[in-house]
């Protein structure tokens, strides 16, 4: 395959060096976008009288045929090409001869790769966003079923206050909704067409940048030709959105790994979403959750790599920028598969709701609710905190696991405000039902949160 710059440099690098600087392995993914951009560019050249109209039509048709041949499998991307832009231009020229050589007028690979990358993301990111929304749907379905299933809420991984499984799964969903929003925001800012920026300085040819941008479905052409080829903010923003989403999945998976342990026994993963051990016959391991947690390292690493890639670059095109796609593609792909795996694993798992409810019975999860009980009866909170703390200490001294194990007389020794109603008020389900403020775990409030989220993700 010829290189596009053989006119200036007759001697090519040796094969290993050529392969080192080539990007076809990565950017062949942009083949359809490259063709799409070239078709619009060629038609514009014809409309502007920069090439004969018939030539423009010929180029357009042949590019369409190349796309068809590629999808039919009668043409394959040549892995020895330098990059996807060279491959398409060379194929076009092999097929058409002279007219093929006209397509690159007013264009550089610098603006071409920028437009290809953005076009690809305009298609791929909404799919990824839909993947997030589908994950939220799966979580909300389970949250709804478990709006009343009690479980301990933890801080410092110590039993804190009773909540519900529905409340916990809705918390995950709220985080994922923000992630979906970050992708949507990034799409708004990336919606600018770099074509016409050339290598950095635009073109003296009378290109119609507005028409090209419109035909490719962009909001408009980018404002400044140097910025158009130098800017990779869209890649950073998306890598950041991927990194944050993966960090969320990693934390959810950490919950799942804990819950699946013998110590918690809250979660029974499906056998098909677990793996065994080559030596320990009894093992059923939460490998999928662990690996999703592990893969978040890539998402974080890719973001840091991209930031590092950009920080020292003069503000124009430099070949360093070629590294951008491999990093972002890896983040997008990894997040996409992690979301699917997370859904499969979670959607098929069984929650051990009896065990979760039991875990609310001991460990004084009702102590805060006891303090609030006293506040409702008029006691200053700090004092109520001390009274409830003393009640906990009394229980511990007596080998009891819950404030409800105290007698009314014993409680009344600490405060005359305690009444018979304290025993029902401090059951986990009453305590949860009482916390019905917006955002709280009370079942009807969690159902409201679920319908709010459903409203937000409606197609
Ligand atoms: N493969 C290059 C990239 O991904 C395309 C642009 C090359 N431009 C250049 N002047 N060498 O960034």
**86 Cβ closer than 6 Å to some ligand 1 atom:** no
Determine the Cα–Cα distance for residues 428 and 358; give it in Å rounded to an integer: 10
* Start and end residues for every CATH 1.20.200.10 domain found in the chain: 110-207+218-351
Q: Flag whether pLDDT at 2 surpasses 80.
A: no
Give the number of other CB atoms < 10 A from CB of residue 449.
22
Q: Flag whether pLDDT at 9 surpasses 90.
A: no
Task: Kindly give the number of the ligand 1 atom that is closest to the alpha carbon of 83.
Answer: 1
**Model confidence over 140-190: pLDDT tens digits?**
999 999 999 999 999 999 999 999 999 999 999 999 999 999 999 999 999
Determine the Cα–Cα distance for residues 147 and 180; give it in Å rounded to an integer: 24
Mean pLDDT of the chain: 97
pLDDT of residue 7: 84
**Model confidence over 11-66: pLDDT tens digits?**
888 999 999 999 999 999 999 999 999 999 999 999 999 999 999 999 999 999 99
Q: Which of 4-13, 41-50, 269-278 has the lowest mean pLDDT?
A: 4-13
CATH no. for 359-444: 1.10.40.30
**415 Cβ closer than 6 Å to some ligand 1 atom:** no
CA of 318 to the centre of ligand 1 (A): 8
- Report the topology of domain 110-207+218-351: Fumarase C; Chain A, domain 2 (1.20.200)
Q: Is the dihedral of CA 47, 189, 88, 11 positive or negative?
A: positive
Q: Flag whether pLDDT at 191 surpasses 80.
A: yes
Q: Flag whether pLDDT at 199 surpasses 80.
A: yes
Q: In sequence order, what are the residues at sequence separation of 6 or more whose Cβ sits closer than 8 angstroms to the Cβ of residue 388?
A: 367, 368, 370, 371, 374, 403
**115 Cβ closer than 6 Å to some ligand 1 atom:** no
User: So which residues are the catalytic ones?
Assistant: 156, 277
CA angle at residue 112 from 109 to 116, to 5 degrees?
Answer: 135
CA of 110 to the centre of ligand 1 (A): 6
Determine the Cα–Cα distance for residues 8 and 136; give it in Å rounded to an integer: 55
- Report the topology of domain 17-105: Fumarase C; Chain B, domain 1 (1.10.275)
76: exposed, middle or buried (Cβ count in 10 Å: 0-12, 13-18, 19+): exposed
N-to-C CA span, the chain = 46
pLDDT of residue 213: 98
User: Which mutation among 113, 231, 316 tests ligand 1's pocket best, with the greatest number of atoms within 8 A of CB?
Assistant: 113
Q: Flag whether pLDDT at 6 surpasses 90.
A: no
**112 Cβ closer than 6 Å to some ligand 1 atom:** no
Determine the Cα–Cα distance for residues 418 and 373; give it in Å rounded to an integer: 8
CA of 200 to the centre of ligand 1 (A): 12
Q: Flag whether pLDDT at 105 surpasses 70.
A: yes
| Token pair 């040549």: residue | 78
CB 330 within 8 A of CB 358: no
**Model confidence over 200-235: pLDDT tens digits?**
999 999 999 999 999 999 999 999 999 999 999 999
pLDDT category of residue 459 using cuts at 50, 70 and 90: low
**Model confidence over 129-138: pLDDT tens digits?**
999 999 999 9
* Start and end residues for every CATH 1.10.40.30 domain found in the chain: 359-444
CA of 246 to the centre of ligand 1 (A): 29
CB 424 within 8 A of CB 430: yes
**322 Cβ closer than 6 Å to some ligand 1 atom:** yes
**28 Cβ closer than 6 Å to some ligand 1 atom:** no
**Model confidence over 391-448: pLDDT tens digits?**
999 999 999 999 999 999 999 999 999 999 999 999 999 999 999 999 999 999 999 9
Beta strand residue intervals within 247-316, DSSP E: 267-268
**Model confidence over 300-359: pLDDT tens digits?**
999 999 999 999 999 999 999 999 999 999 999 999 999 999 999 999 999 999 999 999
């Amino acid at each position: 395959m010829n290189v596009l710059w053989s006119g200036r440099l007759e001697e090519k690098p040796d094969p290993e060096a050529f392969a080192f600087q080539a990007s076809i392995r990565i950017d062949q993914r942009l083949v359809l976008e490259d063709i799409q951009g070239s078709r619009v560019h060629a038609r514009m050249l014809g409309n502007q009288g920069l090439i004969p109209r018939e030539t423009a039509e010929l180029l357009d048709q042949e590019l369409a045929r190349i796309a068809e041949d590629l999808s039919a499998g009668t043409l394959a991307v040549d892995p020895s090409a330098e990059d996807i832009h060279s491959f398409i231009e060379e194929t076009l020229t092999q097929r058409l001869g002279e007219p093929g050589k006209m397509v690159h007028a007013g264009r550089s690979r610098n603006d071409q790769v920028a437009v290809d990358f953005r076009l690809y993301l305009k298609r791929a990111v909404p799919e990824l966003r839909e993947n997030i929304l589908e994950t939220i749907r799966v979580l909300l379905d389970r949250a709804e079923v478990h709006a009343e299933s009690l479980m301990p809420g933890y801080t410092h991984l110590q039993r804190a206050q009773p909540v519900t499984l529905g409340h916990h799964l809705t918390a995950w969903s709220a985080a994922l909704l923000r992630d979906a929003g970050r992708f949507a925001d990034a799409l708004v800012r990336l919606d600018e067409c770099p074509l016409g920026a050339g290598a950095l300085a635009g073109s003296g040819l009378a290109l119609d940048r507005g028409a090209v941008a419109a035909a490719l479905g962009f909001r408009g052409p980018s404002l400044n030709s140097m910025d158009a080829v130098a800017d990779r903010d869209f890649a950073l923003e998306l890598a950041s959105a991927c990194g944050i989403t993966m960090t969320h999945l990693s934390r959810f998976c950490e919950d799942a790994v804990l819950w699946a342990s013998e110590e918690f026994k809250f979660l029974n993963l499906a056998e098909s979403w677990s793996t065994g051990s080559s030596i320990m016959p009894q093992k059923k391991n939460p490998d999928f959750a662990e690996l999703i947690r592990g893969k978040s390292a890539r998402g974080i690493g890719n973001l840091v790599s991209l930031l590092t890639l950009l920080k020292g670059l003069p503000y124009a095109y430099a070949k360093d920028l070629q590294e951008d796609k491999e990093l972002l593609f890896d983040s997008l792909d990894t997040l996409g598969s992690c979301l699917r795996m997370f859904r499969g694993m979670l959607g098929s798992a069984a929650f051990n709701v009896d065990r979760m409810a039991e875990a609310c019975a001991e460990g004084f999860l009702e102590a805060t609710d006891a303090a609030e009980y006293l506040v409702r009866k008029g006691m200053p909170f700090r004092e109520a905190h001390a009274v409830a703390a003393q009640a906990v200490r009394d229980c511990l001294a007596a080998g009891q696991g819950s404030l409800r194990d105290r007698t009314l007389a014993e409680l009344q020794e600490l405060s005359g405000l305690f009444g018979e109603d304290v025993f029902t008020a401090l059951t986990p389900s009453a305590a949860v039902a009482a916390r019905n403020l917006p955002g709280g775990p009370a079942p009807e409030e969690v159902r409201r949160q679920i319908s709010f989220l459903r409203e937000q993700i409606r197609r």
